[in-house]
């Protein structure tokens, strides 16, 4: 049995954490979190997450990936385009031995983010290409899915993806069961419970743990052990860090 939590999906390399990163990391360790599966959203984050892996060896487990939505200034977002992936492609291969997963990748068909058929086609093309990279590098994928659950799962199955985490899954239970049948994992962020904090951070994993324990009628320790073991089953390289 493992002795600590694994945060399966965190954005520790995001700009929001730059000012107080040391304090966030300290709170993370004090909360009993032993591994951070650290995802990226844009190619500009790639160097940052790798630097954090060097800075906090054994704690920060880096992933590289392009999110289906990309920043376009003034806090607005647009759908990812195939050309966004061009500069990222060589970096997946350059750092292949350091990565624990490809992510955060996926589909987001929210109407105001992907208003046109071309937006959705572009997202799907980038998603499929990153799925191919993950298979080539023998890595699991860390997946975002919003307003696109059925398409996301169907696409992964069609592409022969067998190892995946569906992060913060918001689809119907029947669709979630399709993911379970395919062998995929689903994560539960603190948003599943009443969380009044403006910004989430890894130490809040205990909220999810306690909520799941209450729903299932088991101890929080049982949930912690089961979820940590599951995390290392999926992210096998993280266990070896």
Among the listed ranges 65-79, 118-132, 204-218, which one has the minimum average pLDDT value? 65-79
| DSSP codes of every residue in 148-212 | -HHHHHHHHHHTT---EEEET--S-HHHHHHHHHTT-EE---GGGS----SS--GGGHHHHHHHH
H or E element in which residue 103 lies = strand 101-108
3-class state of residue 8 by DSSP: strand
For residue 193, pLDDT over 80 is answered with no
> Can you give the pLDDT at residue 1?
41
Among the listed ranges 8-12, 28-32, 187-191, 230-234, which one has the minimum average pLDDT value? 187-191
> Can you give the pLDDT at residue 197?
54
> Can you give the pLDDT at residue 76?
83
Confidence of residue 195 (pLDDT cuts 50, 70, 90): low
Q: What percent of the chain lies above the pLDDT cut of 70?
A: 97
- In this structure, the number of other CB atoms found within 10 A of the CB of residue 147 comes to 15
Among the listed ranges 82-96, 99-113, 185-199, which one has the minimum average pLDDT value? 185-199
Token pair in block for residue 120: 């959705």
**Where is pLDDT greater, at 180 or 75?**
180
Among the listed ranges 5-9, 174-178, 230-234, 237-241, which one has the minimum average pLDDT value? 237-241
> Can you give the pLDDT at residue 2?
60
Read off the pTM: 0.94
3-state secondary structure 44-78: HHHHHHHHHHHHCCCCEEEEECCCCEEECCCCCEE
**pLDDT (tens digit, 9 = 90+) per residue, 151-180?**
999 999 999 999 999 997 888 899 999 999
| Average pLDDT of the residues of the chain | 93
Determine the average pLDDT of the residues in 134-143: 98
H or E element in which residue 132 lies = helix 117-137
Domain boundaries, the chain: 5-239
> Can you give the pLDDT at residue 35?
97
> Can you give the pLDDT at residue 198?
54
For residue 9, pLDDT over 90 is answered with yes
For residue 61, pLDDT over 60 is answered with yes
Distance CA(139)–CA(131), nearest Å, equals 9
For residue 147, pLDDT over 50 is answered with yes
Q: 5-239 has which CATH code?
A: 3.20.20.140
């Amino acid at each position: 049995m493992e002795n600590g939590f694994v945060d399966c999906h965190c954005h520790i390399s995001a700009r929001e954490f730059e000012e107080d990163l040391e304090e966030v990391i300290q709170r993370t360790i004090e909360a009993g979190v032993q591994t951070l599966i650290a995802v990226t959203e844009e190619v500009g984050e790639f160097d940052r997450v790798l630097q954090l892996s060097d800075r906090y060896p054994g704690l920060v487990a880096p992933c590289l990936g392009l999110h289906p939505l990309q920043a376009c200034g003034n806090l607005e977002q647009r759908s990812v385009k195939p050309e966004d992936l061009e500069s990222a492609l060589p970096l997946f291969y350059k750092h292949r031995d350091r990565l624990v997963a490809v992510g955060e990748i996926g589909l987001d068909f929210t109407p105001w983010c992907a208003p046109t058929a071309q937006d959705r086609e572009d997202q799907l093309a980038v998603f499929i290409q990153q799925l191919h990279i993950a298979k080539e590098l023998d890595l699991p994928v860390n997946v975002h899915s919003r307003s696109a659950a059925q398409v996301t799962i169907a696409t992964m199955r069609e592409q022969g993806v067998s190892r995946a985490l569906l992060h913060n899954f918001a689809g119907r239970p029947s669709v979630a069961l399709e993911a379970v049948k395919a062998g995929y994992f689903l994560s539960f962020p603190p948003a599943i419970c009443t969380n009044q904090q403006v910004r989430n951070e890894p130490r809040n994993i205990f909220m999810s743990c306690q909520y799941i324990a209450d729903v299932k009628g088991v101890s929080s320790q049982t949930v912690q052990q089961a979820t940590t073991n599951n995390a290392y089953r999926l992210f096998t390289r993280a266990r070896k860090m």
